[in-house]
């Protein structure tokens, strides 16, 4: 088996690239995913010291989507391709515009390549026509002439072709027909085998018919599943548009603040202005759309958190306290300009960065996953290890409490208890916030949920720490048909009454 090694340090970069694919890569991945072309492809796959766009291990095939930047680094890309081809890898390259505008032609070329270059199965038998070794001689004594052209020579009494003109290879020609009589006697004893052959033929035909019927049934189920998957995908997309319509909803100021809407859609849409999370579902034919709308301001902003807030969040998620100062120091060195070391920090001269071939960013963090590039910040700290029964220190994970969008103010309607506690406010105020957002009935998930502007003032919440104004909004849309579920996770930012997309992922991300 041909095993292709790769630099394990590339795994965080590959994961980040999967979350930031170009539009052309996303469109092509929708066609390659789930073995739609008969073979499995991986996206953003590390091989050796590079990361390729798409890779099929079974065919040793790399598919690359080239944008305008390819012209600027063509020599570098060509050198990379030559080195990977020396490892037995084949390449298919397409331009970005081809994938967007001529997807049918692109898929046809990939399918044609797969048909012309199938993987060679193990133990392939020799081709037809390969000479036999040690072919037995018939009972009459004349060698068999299978495979030797008939050139019009007379046939001896035995019925086997004459050997006249064929070089002597160590046998005699018997003039008597007695051995052929013996052969005919043996042949007559085998006449009953014809019935057995017919029975075998019937058995084989029945097996072929059964296999064909099974394959037809299987194909029918696959087509049905594909149809359901397509419907689920379209419902998920429709759900995002439905959420946008909710975001655009504005209450009539003349009707007052105590309007009760009979329409569930309007009732949920009216919550958004006060930053209250929304859960809405609607049936469409044989499918259903489920919407969850939340707010990035319900999470702590990595770039604005204080050391005390980090320590409180570390404590609540189970991060060992011996690591707190080094984690904060390395994070500050990653963000701040210059090469001055923080206490317990790490700058570009640290062996951690030198071994991995990159330096601290000296700028703000753009995504939550970027923390994995910083010294000391591990997968367990960020996403937890509660599923690992052998973990020495159980950690629940920081990611679901963090964001990189917004101004750092917290929405009290969507912040978790851990986020509220990390603000180092009194425990009594945390309890009062959680109780107030349940509404007058004290039950979660009812129409009166959410802290209003009046509640905000009554609780004495500081507008320097808290806000009810939505800015960056999380939309999670699920389309379901017949048990199949398609999920789209996205983040939109409100800019001058228009919502600009910041993040889009088909398939639910772990932090959501």
pTM above 0.85, yes or no: no
How far apart are the C-alpha atoms of 80 and 243, rounded to whole Å? Answer: 44
pLDDT (tens digit, 9 = 90+) per residue, 242-289? Answer: 988 888 877 655 555 556 677 788 888 888 877 889 898 989 888 999
For residues 10 and 381, what is the distance between their CA atoms, to the nearest angstrom? Answer: 19
Partners of 479 in the β-ladder? 289, 486
Nearest to 343 by CA among 333, 354, 358, 334: 333
Q: How far apart are CA 414 and CA 444, in angstroms?
A: 12
- Structural tokens at position 119: 């993987």
Per-residue pLDDT for 475 more than 70? yes
Helix extents (H) in 21-146? 23-32, 69-72, 74-85, 96-101, 103-116
8-115: CATH topology is Endonuclease; Chain A (3.40.960)
Residue intervals of the chain classified under CATH 3.40.960.10 are: 8-115
From CA 63, how far away is CA 28, in angstroms rounded? Answer: 10
Query: Cα–Cα–Cα angle for 334, 337, 338, nearest 5°?
Result: 100
Name the nearest CA neighbour of 365 among 322, 331, 389.
331
- The residue ranking higher by pLDDT, 205 or 386, is 205
In angstroms and rounded to an integer, the radius of gyration of the C-alpha atoms of the chain is 36
Query: Are 508 and 501 within 8 A, CB to CB?
Result: no
pLDDT band at 316 (very low <50, low <70, confident <90, very high): very high
Q: Give pLDDT, residue 319.
A: 95
Q: Beta-strand (E) ranges in 157-286? A: 278-284
Domain 304-394 of CATH type 3.90.870.10: no
Per-residue pLDDT at 272:
82
Phi, psi of 384 (to 5 degrees): 85, 165
Q: How confident is the model at residue 70 (pLDDT cuts 50, 70, 90)?
A: confident
Chain centre distance of CA 103 = 20
For the residues 158-167, what does the mean pLDDT come to? 43
Residue pLDDT, tens place only, 94-127: 999 999 999 999 999 999 999 999 875 544 443 3
Distance CA(72)–CA(213), nearest Å, equals 54
Residue keyed to tokens 């990361």: 51
**Which H/E stretch holds residue 474?**
strand 472-481
User: Alpha helices of 350-459 — where are they, by DSSP H?
Assistant: 351-356, 379-383, 417-422, 427-436, 453-458
3-state DSSP call for residue 423? Answer: coil
- What was the pLDDT predicted at 124? 42
Report whether 270 contacts 447 (CB < 8 A).
no
Boundaries of CATH 1.10.40.60 in the chain? 304-394
Mean of pLDDT values over 65-93:
90
Q: Find the length of the chain.
A: 512
Q: Give the pLDDT confidence score for residue 119 in this predicted structure.
A: 79
Q: 306: left (phi > 0), else alpha (psi -120 to 50), else beta?
A: beta
pLDDT band at 7 (very low <50, low <70, confident <90, very high): confident
- As a dihedral over the C-alpha atoms of residue 450, residue 455, residue 459, residue 462, rounded to 10 degrees, the angle is 90
List the structure tokens of 268.
């949920």
């Amino acid at each position: 088996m041909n095993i292709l090694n790769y630099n394990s340090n590339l795994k965080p970069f590959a994961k980040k690239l999967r979350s930031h694919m170009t539009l052309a890569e996303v469109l092509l991945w929708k066609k390659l995913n789930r073995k739609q072309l008969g073979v499995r492809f991986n996206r953003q796959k590390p091989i050796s010291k590079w990361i390729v766009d798409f890779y099929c291990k079974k065919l040793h095939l790399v598919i690359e989507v080239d944008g305008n930047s390819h012209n600027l680094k063509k020599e570098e890309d060509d050198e990379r391709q030559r080195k990977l081809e020396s490892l037995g890898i084949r390449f298919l390259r397409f331009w970005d515009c081809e994938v967007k505008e001529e997807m049918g032609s692109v898929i046809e070329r990939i399918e044609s390549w797969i048909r012309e270059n199938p993987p060679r199965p193990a133990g392939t038998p020799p081709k037809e026509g390969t000479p036999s070794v040690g072919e037995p001689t018939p009972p009459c004594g004349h060698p068999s002439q299978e495979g030797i052209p008939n050139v019009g020579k007379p046939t001896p009494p035995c019925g086997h072709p004459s050997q006249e003109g064929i070089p002597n290879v160590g046998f005699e020609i018997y003039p008597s027909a007695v051995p052929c009589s013996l052969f005919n006697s043996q042949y007559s004893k085998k006449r009953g085998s014809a019935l057995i052959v017919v029975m075998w033929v019937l058995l084989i035909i029945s097996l072929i018919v059964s296999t064909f019927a099974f394959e037809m049934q299987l194909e029918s189920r696959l087509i049905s599943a594909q149809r359901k998957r397509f419907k689920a995908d379209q419902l998920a997309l429709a759900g995002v548009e439905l959420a946008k319509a909710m975001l655009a909803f504005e209450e009539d100021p003349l009707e007052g603040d105590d309007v009760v809407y009979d329409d569930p859609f309007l009732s949920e849409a009216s919550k958004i202005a006060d930053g209250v999370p929304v859960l809405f579902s609607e049936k469409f034919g044989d499918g259903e759309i489920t919407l969850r709308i939340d707010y990035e301001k319900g999470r702590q902003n990595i770039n604005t958190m204080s050391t005390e807030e980090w320590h409180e969040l570390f404590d609540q998620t189970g991060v060992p306290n011996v690591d707190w100062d080094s984690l904060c120091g390395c994070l500050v060195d990653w963000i701040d300009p210059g090469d001055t070391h923080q206490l317990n920090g790490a700058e570009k001269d640290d062996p951690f960065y030198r071994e991995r071939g990159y330096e601290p960013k000296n700028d703000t963090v753009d995504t939550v996953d970027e923390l994995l590039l910083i010294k000391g910040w591990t997968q367990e700290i960020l996403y937890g290890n509660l599923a690992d029964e052998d973990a020495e220190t159980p950690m629940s994970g920081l990611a679901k409490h963090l964001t990189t969008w917004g101004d750092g103010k917290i929405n009290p309607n969507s912040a978790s208890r851990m986020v509220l506690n990390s603000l180092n406010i009194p425990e009594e105020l945390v309890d009062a916030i959680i109780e107030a957002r349940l509404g007058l009935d004290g039950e979660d998930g009812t129409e009166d949920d959410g802290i209003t502007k009046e509640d905000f003032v009554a609780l004495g919440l500081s507008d320097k720490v808290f806000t009810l104004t939505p800015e960056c909004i999380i939309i999670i849309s699920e389309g379901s048909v017949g048990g199949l579920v398609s999920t789209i996770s996205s983040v939109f930012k409100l800019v001058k009454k228009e919502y600009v997309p910041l993040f889009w992922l088909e398939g639910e991300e772990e932090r959501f």
